């Protein structure tokens, strides 16, 4: 492991004042390996302390250690070798590539590079072996650093739940309908006039992302080429008046016909590389199964395993595809910043960080 002594690796957070940026900062407070050293956002607030630049919205008070850091803008010459990106899509491409070119390890929550042929789209428990495509990436692009992405927040929890099923039974088809929280749209995000007493049955490009990202993550890396999972998949995405926590109703056609209790056992017994390595942000149980017939629910279950687990419930037969269940997870912790940090921990533990 590259970390020696108690010296923590300095990290920069890009898009530090936004919703996901704030979550990065919250989750990195008191992190054993990483330390927020630089906060970066658009130039409006450059030079101001983070305390003044960010309207902190995660709890009463922002972490003291970050509050006094001066805001940097995107042109700043960063010192941190490790960078987390919560950039808005429109500026992500150029900035993220520059970071990698400059030799930094960039872990991005932005969608821009997710589907690039030489960028790993990673869930640490699902496809840690995809990480090695960064060698191809470096060769292709002549970079000393690299870009590693995590997926869309709703794909994240679905794929985490599908992975042990794929391993145990194979997966032929998936139909998913989501009920997504408003924090997924950032801040200001969804107007309250669109959410009080309402549902919006549409989230721009979300259904497409869920399908292609899920197939990439459940697929395999064949040398320098990603082969997407060979399964049929359809998604319908809705926005509902919930602060945090995406609820997803999934029907799945497996490669075989296990008993329901067997499926539940497969969910509950799922452990993977982050659990073996005891990564600091790894949930003890990546998938938690609730047996009550009215669970999981956002207010009760989104913080399971500090928001890093996917909570599965209502596992039962599906008349159409054989198996159906609900999966719920925290969309800005496991679904965004927490997933990115877990990926960085995996790289660090595997000796893949350039530090």
Q: Which residues are catalytic?
A: 153, 246
The DSSP secondary-structure symbol of 49 reads B
When asked if residue 51 is in the footprint of a second copy (CB under 8 A), the reply is no
Of residues 147 and 182, the one with the C-beta less far from a second copy: 182
Question: What b/e sequence results for 293-302 when a residue is b if at least 16 CB atoms lie within 10 Å of its CB, and e otherwise?
Answer: eebbbbeebb
When asked if residue 314 is in the footprint of a second copy (CB under 8 A), the reply is yes
Structural contact between residues 39 and 51, judged by C-beta atoms closer than 8 angstroms: no
> What are the backbone angles phi and psi of residue 160, rounded to the nearest 5°?
-60, -40
When asked if residue 191 is in the footprint of a second copy (CB under 8 A), the reply is yes
When asked if residue 331 is in the footprint of a second copy (CB under 8 A), the reply is no
Interaction residues for a second copy, span 261-300 (CB under 8 A): 288, 293-300
Taking every pair of Cα atoms in the chain, the longest distance, rounded to a whole number of angstroms, is: 60
Residue in 46, 91, 177, 224 binding a second copy, rule: CB under 8 A: 177
Of residues 178 and 281, the one with the C-beta less far from a second copy: 178
For residue 221, count other CB atoms closer than 10 A to its CB: 17
Instruction: List residues bridging with 233 in a β-sheet.
Output: 174
When asked if residue 230 is in the footprint of a second copy (CB under 8 A), the reply is no
Of residues 56 and 141, the one with the C-beta less far from a second copy: 56
**Rounded to the nearest whole angstrom, what is the least distance from the CB of residue 314 to a second copy in the complex?**
6
**In sequence order, what are the residues at sequence separation of 6 or more whose Cβ sits closer than 8 angstroms to the Cβ of residue 294?**
none
When asked if residue 212 is in the footprint of a second copy (CB under 8 A), the reply is no
When asked if residue 311 is in the footprint of a second copy (CB under 8 A), the reply is yes
Stretch that binds a second copy, among 35-43, 71-79, 197-205, 255-263 (CB under 8 A): 197-205
Of residues 96 and 305, the one with the C-beta less far from a second copy: 305
Stretch that binds a second copy, among 2-10, 162-170, 216-224, 316-324 (CB under 8 A): 316-324
Determine which helix (DSSP H) or strand (DSSP E) holds 232, and give its type and residue range.
Answer: strand 232-239
When asked if residue 209 is in the footprint of a second copy (CB under 8 A), the reply is no
Structural contact between residues 237 and 207, judged by C-beta atoms closer than 8 angstroms: yes
**In sequence order, what are the residues at sequence separation of 6 or more whose Cβ sits closer than 8 angstroms to the Cβ of residue 278?**
none
End-to-end CA separation in angstroms for the chain? 10
Residue in 30, 77, 90, 196 binding a second copy, rule: CB under 8 A: 196
When asked if residue 306 is in the footprint of a second copy (CB under 8 A), the reply is no
**Rounded to the nearest whole angstrom, what is the least distance from the CB of residue 137 to a second copy in the complex?**
29
Question: What b/e sequence results for 317-349 when a residue is b if at least 16 CB atoms lie within 10 Å of its CB, and e otherwise?
Answer: eeeebbbbbbbbbbbbbbbbbbbbbbbbbbbbb
**Rounded to the nearest whole angstrom, what is the least distance from the CB of residue 351 to a second copy in the complex?**
35
Structural contact between residues 78 and 38, judged by C-beta atoms closer than 8 angstroms: yes
Per CB under 8 A, residues contacting a second copy are 19, 57, 59-60, 173-175, 177, 179, 182-183, 187-202, 211, 232-234, 236, 238, 240-243, 247, 249, 251, 288, 293-301, 303-304, 311, 313-314, 318-321, 324, 326, 328
């Amino acid at each position: 492991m590259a970390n020696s002594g108690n010296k923590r690796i300095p990290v920069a957070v890009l898009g530090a004042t936004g919703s996901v940026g704030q979550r990065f900062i919250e989750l990195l407070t008191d992190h054993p390996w990483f330390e927020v050293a630089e906060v970066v956002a658009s130039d409006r607030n450059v030079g101001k302390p983070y305390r003044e630049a960010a309207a902190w919205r995660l709890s009463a008070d922002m972490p003291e250690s970050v509050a006094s850091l001066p805001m940097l803008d995107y042109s700043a010459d960063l010192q941190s070798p490790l960078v987390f990106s919560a950039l808005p899509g429109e500026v992500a491409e150029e900035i993220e590539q520059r970071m990698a070119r400059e030799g930094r390890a960039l872990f991005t929550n932005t969608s821009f590079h997710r589907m690039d042929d030489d960028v790993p789209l990673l869930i640490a428990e699902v496809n840690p072996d995809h990480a090695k495509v960064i060698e191809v990436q470096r060769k292709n692009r002549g970079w000393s650093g690299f870009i590693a992405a995590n997926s869309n927040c709703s794909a994240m929890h679905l794929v985490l739940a599908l992975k042990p099923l794929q391993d145990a039974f194979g997966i032929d088809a998936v139909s998913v309908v989501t009920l997504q929280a408003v924090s997924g749209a950032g801040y200001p995000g969804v107007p309250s006039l669109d959410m009080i007493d309402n549902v919006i049955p549409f989230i721009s490009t979300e259904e497409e992302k869920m399908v292609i990202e899920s197939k990439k993550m459940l697929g395999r890396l064949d040398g320098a080429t990603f082969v997407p999972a060979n399964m049929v998949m359809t998604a319908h995405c809705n926005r509902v008046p919930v602060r945090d926590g995406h609820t997803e109703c999934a029907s799945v056609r497996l490669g075989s016909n296990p008993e329901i209790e067997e499926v539940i056992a497969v969910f509950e017994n799922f452990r993977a590389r982050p659990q073996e390595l005891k990564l600091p942000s790894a949930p003890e149980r990546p998938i938690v199964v609730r047996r009550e017939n009215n669970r999981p629910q956002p207010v009760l279950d989104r913080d399971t395993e500090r928001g890093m687990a996917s909570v599965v419930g209502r596992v039962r037969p599906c008349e159409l595809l054989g198996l159906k269940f609900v999966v719920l997870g925290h969309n800005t912790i496991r679904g965004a910043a927490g997933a990115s940090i877990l990926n960085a921990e995996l790289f660090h533990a595997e000796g893949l960080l350039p530090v």
